[in-house]
Structure 1
Amino acid sequence: MGFDDIIGQTEIVNTLKRAVKNDHAGHAYVFSGPEGIGKGMMAEAFARQLLCLDADAPERCEGCTACRLLDEGTNPDFIVIRPSGSSIGIDEIRGIQSDIIIKPLYSRRKVYVIVNADLMTVQAQNCLLKILEEPPRYAVIILTVSNYNALLETIRSRTIRYNFKRNSIEEVTGLLRERFGSSLKGIDFIAAYSGGIIGTALKLAESEEFISLRDRTIDMVFRIANSGLDAIFDIYDFFDENKDNINTVLDIMQMVYRDIMLLKTNQKENMLINYDKKDIILSNADAFTVQKLIRNIELVEQTYRNLKYNANFQLSIEAMLMKLQED
């Protein structure tokens, strides 16, 4: 894994490259951002550059001992700490404390990556703080976190933070086309639904269940629009069957209504999130007015909020369905 494998995050990549090239790497970093944004990939790419024995080597050095052992997963100068269960305890950090006093065996540096460091207990964080107060000159510690504020202020003040930005839809779409080809079903929808998080996009692209749920949700949206109140209870069964994925269902519904609104307001078809479904969207667009679409989006959003605050599932869904069918 090298910097060239990372999509987006150009500013961070360039800054870390310069730090290695100029031998100005800090002792402790925090990579923060949502899950799946690429923090782990960046940590591994940064570690590779820090550990490489050949300062003039191209990014993908495959000749030096340090890089070869890193590829094999046996480089003792590269240590990764992951949560055990739902947290990272003090024993794992004490392991770093014991190991860090041993000088590197193959490189000029030792690199420690603590994955999901925001799951460290307070005791573990206090133990890490002692390490950060006087780290050996050869040690680099990288924390990846989704919740930066979960770290103690004393740790935050002793680390260099890089906050990862969401990738553009174009960047995500480009990666999906590269990985899966242009034939990937719903590629524009997946890129938009991922919210600019490449890890999420890759998972969705590989999930047949997600693609199927999207297809059935789109069909259900138009079934609601084209049926009467007597069909509500049958339609409700769809929501009940997908209760565990209700947030996804509601998200897809809002995206469909948004696409119809684009068509109703004479926007370009290539702006549709569900571009591959444009034919079925076009054929059903006359069932909606712009005012009804705005109201439907608000109804779905209100249902989402109600369920978030533990409202009764059946009553909330049935109320939404009845209102969605009103003219």
Structure 2
Amino acid sequence: MEKTWEQLEEYQPTVLKMVGNSLKKNRVAHAYLFEGSRGTGKKEVGLLLAKSLFCQQSQDFKPCNECANCRRISSGNHPDVHLIEPDGQSIKKWQIQELQEEFSKTGVESNRKIYLINHADKMTANAANSLLKFLEEPSSQTVAILLTEQIHRILNTILSRCQVLSFKPLAPKVISQQLTGEGVSSAIASLVANTTNNLEEARQLSTDSWFGQSRTLVIQLYETLNTRPTNAFFFLQDQWLPHFKEKEQLGFGLDILLLIYKDLLYIQLGDEEKVVFHDQIDSFKHYALQTSTRRISEQITALLEAKRRLSTNMNPHLLMEQLLLRLQEGLKFV
């Protein structure tokens, strides 16, 4: 289902406001550069801008997503809207030249033409120089939209000819709502949304059985530390380490455990809306009432220190044993 203007506005309010103002004032730039990390909606907003310029029944400046032009842009079949993707590992000179030849012709249905270049940072030097010539002599009815995750790889001469719009990482609430709308359980959606700000990666994690098992194991470790502390080291050996085998995986487990202790702080501060493990809130309240804010702060410090030491050559098994001792008794790392 195509995203509406309002839905994308939730993702990128600043960008949509700027694009909307340009459309309202009829001051659409000849060239835009949308930059930001993967999964932040750059391509969707680029297509939305194209629809706004071609929509047959827009309301104010917002496209309807339903007319023939909007539907053809969505399906990639509009004759005056062109999307360029890398050919293999890069965007080649011939692709830009082909675009130039196409745009030298009169528009099929109007004089307006739009092109989107996805992964513009992957242009070869020759392709970038060809595009630069194209940007230097813009037609009044031509709009270029360049998309990139690595703005530092874009030629300064190209940057200077584009209006740069920066796409911010998505807020956890936005990702969580999107995932639950797609059928993901609220418990998994909440954790995923606080693990990554990339919507595509969030979708992958939400269906990853390893991720779901990680969540369960972290909760079990926390409960074991509180209810059966003498079993914690057995749990570490029997279940934790076999699951979090690699350093990166172990770091991920520590990140999830850190979210639990942050939840305890939110509960103590009466800020329950920020709790990530909302399905565990009753048991967490019980634990939160039995400890102090200072103690939780010490445990968070211990987790952050363990994360730091994980990046060194310290043995993961020893690191986790020392962490468990510190989480239980407030002991210092040795």
Q: So what's the TM-score if we normalise by structure 1? A: 0.80
Name the residue aligned to 1:254.
258
Q: How far off is 1:94 after superposition?
A: 3.4
| Contact 2:38-2:149 within 8 A present in 1 as well | yes
Give distance in 2, aligned partners of 1:114 and 1:316.
44
Which among 130, 133, 152 is matched to residue 130 of structure 1? 133
The unaligned stretches of length 5 or more in structure 2 are 330-334
1:196-243 deviation line (CA, Å, top 9, x unaligned)? x54454444444543332222222344456246853433422321x65
Q: What secondary structure is seen at the aligned counterpart in 2 of 1:161?
A: strand
Q: State yes or no: 1:6 paired with 2:37.
A: no
Which among 90, 96, 99 is matched to residue 99 of structure 2? 96
Q: How far off is 1:156 after superposition?
A: 1.1
Q: How far off is 1:46 after superposition?
A: 0.7
Give distance in 1, aligned partners of 2:316 and 2:142.
54
Give distance in 1, aligned partners of 2:31 and 2:116.
10
Give distance in 2, aligned partners of 1:109 and 1:203.
38
Q: How far off is 1:175 after superposition?
A: 3.8
Name the residue aligned to 1:185.
187
Gap change, CA 1:158 and 1:211, over 3 Å in 2? same
Name the residue aligned to 2:324.
324
Q: How far off is 1:7 after superposition?
A: 4.0
Q: So what's the TM-score if we normalise by structure 2? A: 0.79
Gap change, CA 1:302 and 1:150, over 3 Å in 2? farther
Q: State yes or no: 1:36 paired with 2:39.
A: yes
Q: How far off is 1:289 after superposition?
A: 5.5
Aligned-residue CA RMSD in angstroms? 3.3
Name the residue aligned to 1:52.
55
Gap change, CA 1:83 and 1:317, over 3 Å in 2? farther
Q: What secondary structure is seen at the aligned counterpart in 1 of 2:83?
A: strand
1:119-171 deviation line (CA, Å, top 9, x unaligned)? 33444323322221112332211112222222121111110011123444444
The unaligned stretches of length 5 or more in structure 1 are none
Q: What secondary structure is seen at the aligned counterpart in 2 of 1:193?
A: coil
Name the residue aligned to 1:113.
116
Gap change, CA 1:323 and 1:73, over 3 Å in 2? closer
Q: What secondary structure is seen at the aligned counterpart in 1 of 2:20?
A: helix
Which letter does structure 2 place at the counterpart of 1:260?
A: L
Moved over 6 A (4+): 55-58
Give distance in 2, aligned partners of 1:259 and 1:55.
45
Q: What secondary structure is seen at the aligned counterpart in 1 of 2:99?
A: helix
Q: How far off is 1:53 after superposition?
A: 5.1
Name the residue aligned to 1:81.
84
Sequence identity of aligned pairs in percent? 25
